Amino acid sequence: MTSITTISARKWIRSRIKEEEYKRYMKKERDFINDELIWEKLKSKRNPSPQEVRAILDKSLSLETLDPDETATLLNVKDKSLWEEIFAVAGEVKKKVYDNRIVTFAPLYCSNFCVNNCVYCAFRRDNRAEKRRRLSLEEVRREVEVLAGKIGHKRLIVVYGEHPLSDVNYIADTIKTIYSVKVKTKRGHGEIRRVNVNAAPMSIEELKMLKEIGIGTYQVFQETYHHDTYKKLHPEGTIKSNYQWRLYSLHRALEAGVDDVAIGALFGLYDWRFEVMGLLYHARDLEEHFGIGPHTISFPRLQPAVNTPFVQKAKYKVSDEDFKKLIAVIRLSVPYSGMILTAREPAHIRREVIPLGVTQTDASTKIGIGAYDQRDEGQKAEKQQFLLGDTRSLDEVIRELAENGYITSFCTAGYRCGRTGRCIMNLLKQGKERWFCKVNAVLTFREWLDDFASEKTRRVGEQLIEKEIEEIKQQKPSFYPKFMQYYERIKNGERDLYF
């Protein structure tokens, strides 16, 4: 497992960064994040009038991406009643693009070996308190048997440290293994239908390899967009110290043919308003070059991690109130993008912020290496990248969502029908994708209720399904007859029917 020598690891590190693959996207040798300009815009938009703010909200409702001046204006709102209007419109925009559905997934951590030394991360190279491990392919299979066969997940995000032990070949092998697992359930079989990847920046050649085996969304977080802060937190001489190699990782992915990419920032490393502006500039630059923005945006907050004192001393921690604000502003700024809220946050915070525009969340989450198959009770800090705030089961989370009027979607149909990349981006911007999502959400929710739900959750879920079916009948009568045929077939035991 750890037979890779220090010398061969150093050689691997030196081979990673290919300057020509990101410099061609830069303008006059500068990247698209101009720190001085961002602060200039934030300072120039102080004390906006209610009229200015409401005009921006109207633009968001037309599903247009905001420009930096407009986002800076929203970030400078002080009036509490105006923030309530912003929160309400953020919820409206989400409903207009994504309806009332919430997509669920689970993270699967495959390896915590890492050559980087990020000061806020438990996986950092010099952290001797972290217990290192890489899953074998058989262990990956056993993890998936629990996730797909006992819990009922259909989507995973696989996570890897940056290390030669978890290079592109290992990533490809784990993804192929995940897709191969089929587990018998009460009425059908459990399987993972979509594997998204959170991994280190890769070359175009490596990304083409992952595209061939069926990678879902490729997710790379910039962590912080502020250049000086990035430099301080990512020590010189590590792969991650190269800001531009990371910043343009998703440009390379789109160039390699990967349809869906995902951006994110780790809130708490620098001023949250600056990071929101950075996310907007990132989305706009992807749109400028490829006509495709981020499929999803993530906004995790810094959380405690074993032997990581930086977290306790961090000066830019984001309050719960500011967390609500940043979520709403991201939703309004990039209205077509999915928004991922993770189990880093405690349950009470997740309840508060889901109405502000969240489209995806995880549940039954374990982030220790091998933790699903081992049935670990409680968290093991020395095996994790950070500590979770919410460890509720998928069943509990789905029941609560249903009680609050949200249907849980396990749909992966769009990816298998070609509604990806530029196609889905256009549908989302026009507000048309929501109806494909609606009917497929009901079908997959029916599957999950029959195969995995507790009796209590099934009762709540079926009450919600009745309302959803009536809405489909009233709003989309042309869909309704075929939808009902599929619905009855699924009730009778068929699986994986979709529009």
The tens digit of pLDDT for each residue in 261-278 reads 999 999 999 999 999 999
Query: What is the DSSP code (8-state) at residue 1?
Result: -
Reduced to 3 states (helix: H, G, I; strand: E, B; else coil), residue 20 is: helix
Dig out the tokens for 352 from the structure: 């508060």
List of the chain residues with pLDDT < 50: 1
Q: Please, are residues 87 and 117 in contact by the beta-carbon 8 Å criterion?
A: no
Q: State which amino acid sits at residue 275.
A: E
Calculate helix-pair angle for 433-451, 455-475, nearest 10 degrees: 150
Residue 386: the pLDDT is: 97
- Tell me the CA distances in angstroms from 278 to 285, 317, 427, 496, one per residue in order: 11, 17, 25, 39
The rounded radius of gyration (Å) of the Cα atoms in the chain is: 22
Q: Please, are residues 149 and 408 in contact by the beta-carbon 8 Å criterion?
A: no
Q: Would the pTM count as exceeding 0.85?
A: yes
Superfamily of domain 20-27+101-429: Aldolase class I (3.20.20.70)
Residue 421: the pLDDT is: 63
Enumerate residues 6+ apart whose C-beta is below 8 A from 133.
Answer: 1, 111, 112, 369, 370, 383
**Chain segment 436-491, per-residue pLDDT in tens:** 788 999 999 999 999 999 999 999 999 999 999 999 999 989 889 999 999 999 99
All structural domains of the chain with their residue ranges: 20-27+101-429, 38-92, 434-491
Enumerate residues 6+ apart whose C-beta is below 8 A from 115.
Answer: 9, 12, 13, 125, 162, 163, 164, 238, 239
